[in-house]
Amino acid sequence: MCGYPSEIKKLIKYVEETREERLKKPYRRLSLEEREKLLKEWHPDYKPGTKRPLRVGVCKGTVVYNEVADLLEAWPLIDPDQIDLSKVDYDVDVLVIGSGGAGLAAALWAIYSGVSPDAVLLVTKLRLGDSNTVKAQGGIQAADRPEDSPILHFIDTVGGGLFANKRDLVEALVTDMPFIMKWLEDLGAMFDKNPDGSYVEVSGGGACRRRLHCARDYTGLEILRVLREEFLNHDVPYLEFTPAIELLTDPEDGGVSGAVLYNLETGEYYVASAKAVIIATGGAGRLHIAGFPTSNHYGATMDGVVMGYRVGANIVHLDTFQFHPTGVAFPEAIRGELITEKCRSLGAQLVNVHGEQFIHQLETRDVVSSAIIKECAEGRGIITPTGAMGVWLDMPMIDMLRGPGTIKKALPAMYRQFIRHGIDITQEPVLTYPTLHYQNGGIEIDVFSRVLRPNGEPIPRLLAAGEVGGGVHGRNRLMGNSLAGILVFGRRAGITAAKTVKETSTRPKLSLKHLEKYIEELKSIGVPRERRSPILLPDYRGEKVLLRSLRIF
């Protein structure tokens, strides 16, 4: 409970001095040319030396971030000869990998579409529901007001994605969303409502209408609550602390036939055979792309992309990641955690060390991040005691604009996150800097959530949904569109899986032939043996910590 050190606290007066003036005069929006210039000069995606072309696999030559290339140019955790594929531990119709929103939605819709719950197996790396989904704060987009339409949602999404989105995926996203809201309501999700029963809807960056639905600032937690309850009610078998580490393929058609699982507690491997496999492993924040801190949960290590790529999936837009503009810059203990965009939706402005606003708070995320990085790099940021940089997010403005008590009512998670560290956001601004937040791209999917090869053909029996899937968000995701995407494509994956099961009369064969081929490629480029993936859990043991452990033990 220590709050700001005195040196930083002194600077708050500059924010307070300009507040009245800023409240009266809205900051101008940037022109398209100004936005492009800012991105090119300051966004990490444009920084030289951070990316390289892949040297192995079906997308050889495709440029991705170095951290992604390291992961894809890495040895598998297993030696294919080590796994006895004649002994099948789990024989199911549908295998779902991951228990965030996408995985749970996929499992449920497979069941709603006719698969018996006991013919589904969900495996997950940590506990059921440990995921980025539970961390989602701000809200979920659905165009369901008379003033809005899915067409406007489409235009915003494609503009926000820098026109690189797959248009048919965006169409699926925006047209399914009003139905998905109805489904969540039927499951019992409690979204914020007006006294007349209509949704409270706020603006998100890059959106031309208010279409963000929220449950205070615990939206993801509320969505996951109802999905998990529905999943448990159906008695679906699931394994915790048992990540998938490799997919299995049938050499006859190259399609997927199951996965190798790894028990994190006992170190045992299991073989799971399935007629349809759904990858829903989420994102990659824990790769700390370009050295940024992250808002992501501990298990976000891009495992699904690694497994999918090794069986021939096309990868898209992995040369671009989302650096959310407002990560926590201070206190150090929660550095990188998210300060939801909803704060800016409700009116909090970004202000430099001199108390000057330098960007409209509701420009798209990539643009706002670039503006913050620029401000700090040019010496107009605030330096924290650990040497991190940040600018102010003027939180008290929210209560001034929307009435006293708004912060505590609409942003209880934010209030608690800071008050624990002695910072009262109803009275004081917070220090913020971009944080690695979202994997814009991933393994390419189509509107049926089928995973595609580079030639556009689906890989038989392999589906993907959620943050692991690429194409829908283009090169920059809009706020509220990820929760939307995981449910829209999770549902579609479940429906396609059920159809695939019906169409697959005989069990596909199990092999790791694709891995043997991949290993040959790794050998040919001389990848060091120590580099392994999927990494499953990040390793934060620096050299100093390791030495200390050696001394202790």
- Compute the distance between CA of residue 461 and CA of residue 259 in angstroms, rounded to an integer: 12
249 binds ligand FAD (CB under 6 A): no
The smaller minimum CB distance to ligand FAD, of residues 138 and 429, is found at 138
The answer to whether the CB of 498 falls within 8 A of the CB of 113 is yes
- Give the shortest CB-526-to-ligand FAD separation in angstroms: 27
Q: Which stretch binds ligand FAD (CB under 6 A): 63-71, 110-118, 398-406, 460-468?
A: 460-468
Q: Which stretch binds ligand FAD (CB under 6 A): 155-163, 170-178, 181-189, 478-486?
A: 478-486
Interacting residues with ligand FAD between 89 and 118 (CB under 6 A): 97-103
Tokens of 43: 């966004």
Strands 442-444, 469-470: pairing kind: parallel
Interacting residues with ligand FAD between 411 and 440 (CB under 6 A): 438
- Compute the distance between CA of residue 64 and CA of residue 521 in angstroms, rounded to an integer: 18
- Give the shortest CB-23-to-ligand FAD separation in angstroms: 26
- Give the shortest CB-352-to-ligand FAD separation in angstroms: 25
Contacts of 143 (CB under 8 A, 6+ apart): 149, 150, 152, 153, 174, 177, 178, 209, 211
- Compute the distance between CA of residue 253 and CA of residue 249 in angstroms, rounded to an integer: 8
Q: Which stretch binds ligand FAD (CB under 6 A): 123-131, 229-237, 354-362, 417-425?
A: 123-131
Interface residue with ligand FAD among 157, 165, 296, 361 (CB under 6 A) is 296
The smaller minimum CB distance to ligand FAD, of residues 132 and 157, is found at 132
- Can you say whether residue 476 is alpha, beta or left, with left for phi > 0 and alpha for psi between -120 and 50 degrees? beta
Interface residue with ligand FAD among 347, 429, 474, 534 (CB under 6 A) is 534
Residue of 491, 448, 443, 499 whose CA lies nearest to 471: 443
- Compute the distance between CA of residue 546 and CA of residue 417 in angstroms, rounded to an integer: 30
Interface residue with ligand FAD among 71, 316, 483, 493 (CB under 6 A) is 483
Q: Which residues pair with 294 in a beta bridge?
A: 436
Q: Which stretch binds ligand FAD (CB under 6 A): 27-35, 62-70, 177-185, 479-487?
A: 479-487
- Give the shortest CB-125-to-ligand FAD separation in angstroms: 4
Interacting residues with ligand FAD between 207 and 226 (CB under 6 A): 219-220
Centre a 10 Å sphere on the Cβ of residue 526 and count the other Cβ atoms it contains: 7
172 binds ligand FAD (CB under 6 A): no
Interacting residues with ligand FAD between 226 and 245 (CB under 6 A): 243-244
- Can you say whether residue 283 is alpha, beta or left, with left for phi > 0 and alpha for psi between -120 and 50 degrees? beta
- Give the shortest CB-478-to-ligand FAD separation in angstroms: 8
Residues annotated catalytic, as ranges: 324, 344
177 binds ligand FAD (CB under 6 A): no
- Give the shortest CB-144-to-ligand FAD separation in angstroms: 16
- Compute the distance between CA of residue 364 and CA of residue 362 in angstroms, rounded to an integer: 6
The answer to whether the CB of 411 falls within 8 A of the CB of 340 is yes
124 binds ligand FAD (CB under 6 A): yes
- 505 CB-contact burial (10 Å; exposed 0-12 / middle 13-18 / buried 19+): exposed
Question: Exposure pattern of 158-193 as b/e (b: 16+ CB <10 Å)?
Answer: bbbbbebbbeebbbbbbebbeebbebbeeeebebbe
Euclidean distance between the first and the last CA atom of the chain, given in angstroms as a whole number: 34
Tokens of 165: 């989105």
The smaller minimum CB distance to ligand FAD, of residues 258 and 466, is found at 466
280 binds ligand FAD (CB under 6 A): yes
Interface residue with ligand FAD among 169, 467, 472, 473 (CB under 6 A) is 467
- Compute the distance between CA of residue 459 and CA of residue 102 in angstroms, rounded to an integer: 19
Q: Which stretch binds ligand FAD (CB under 6 A): 229-237, 247-255, 275-283, 365-373?
A: 275-283
Strands 212-213, 140-141: pairing kind: antiparallel
Site string for ligand FAD, 330-349 (x = CB under 6 A): --------x-----------
The answer to whether the CB of 73 falls within 8 A of the CB of 531 is yes
Interface residue with ligand FAD among 331, 458, 480, 494 (CB under 6 A) is 480
Interface residue with ligand FAD among 19, 54, 131, 533 (CB under 6 A) is 131
Q: CA-based Rg of the chain, rounded to a whole angstrom?
A: 23
Judged by CB under 6 A, the number of residues near ligand FAD is 46
Q: Which stretch binds ligand FAD (CB under 6 A): 120-128, 225-233, 441-449, 543-551?
A: 120-128
365 binds ligand FAD (CB under 6 A): no
**Contact residues for ligand FAD, defined by CB under 6 A:** 97-103, 123-126, 130-133, 135-140, 219-220, 243-244, 280-283, 295-296, 299-300, 303, 338, 438, 466-468, 479-483, 486, 534
